[in-house]
Structure 1
């Protein structure tokens, strides 16, 4: 089964490796006995599903979640069941890939115009006059 990411991009579940580990935190005796935390591994560097542009960006965005070999490791331990933690890990991977696929808008750097600079100076002068008015000495 494929996991939909974008209309033109999906990820086969065979590329994901999910293992279960003991979770920490609240959960009482259950957390000590049952391995409920899900650890998802996705080899982004060798994934045939990802275009090159998205692959480099996703590894850059993953930061410390990516190993030197280009494997993204996501650990989900927010919920008390394996199924919910597995779904959470997959959702977080999908969100990361979607963020990597988003192209930021190209922006041309511009400088403020003469009117904008004048408005800024007028505002500064106005604030200064307000503050100057506060420091007056009043005699009773």
Structure 2
């Protein structure tokens, strides 16, 4: 059985993420795997689908349907938070990448680059015909 405090905390978390019960499709299906006759006869496995994001969660961790409902909703919240966190991190990474690309070179780097260009130019000038002059 899930305590009222945990249930209230989960509801607050779902509200903060913008998940409503209307957005969820909940089904109770027969479980699979070990457990014998009990698991084969009862529909304690919970299937949740969040319609706006099309995220599907299936939970069969416990023999209790109520605990599986609670854990499925927690798993759904974890996945949605993970997706949002990944999107935010991708935005931050993109901004950082642009900042690094647009940063001006240090004086030493510029000197090294110019020296390398002069060296390449000298090498190419040696490939010209002896009689050609600029």
Contact preservation (8 Å) 2:14, 2:77: no
Residue equivalent to 2:21: 13
Which of 30, 33, 45 is 1:22 aligned to?
Answer: 30
1: distance between equivalents of 2:15 and 2:41? 41
Query: Counterparts of 1:12 and 1:44 in 2: how far apart (Å)?
Result: 10
Residues 99, 30 of structure 1: alpha-carbon distance in 2 compared, 3 angstrom cutoff: same
Q: Which has the higher strand share?
A: 1
Q: Which residue, out of 57, 67, 71, partners 1:74?
A: 57
Query: Deviation at 1:3?
Result: 3.3
Based on CA coordinates, which of the two structures has the bigger radius of gyration?
A: 2
TM-score by length of 2: 0.53
Provide structure 2 residue ranges, at least 5 long, that are not aligned to the other structure.
Answer: 1-7, 102-107, 109-134
Structure 1 unaligned blocks of 5 or more: 46-70, 115-140
> Is 1:33 matched up with 2:14?
no
Q: Which residue of 1 aligns with 2:80?
A: 97
Instruction: Compute the displacement of 1:10 (Å).
Output: 3.0
Report the Cα distance in structure 1 between the residues aligned to 2:14 and 2:38, rounded to whole angstroms.
Answer: 37
Whose RCO is larger (CA < 8 A, sep 6+)?
1
Name the structure with the higher helix share: 2
TM-score by length of 1: 0.51
Shift of 1:86: 1.2
SS of corresponding position for 1:19: strand
**Aligned residues: CA RMSD:** 2.9
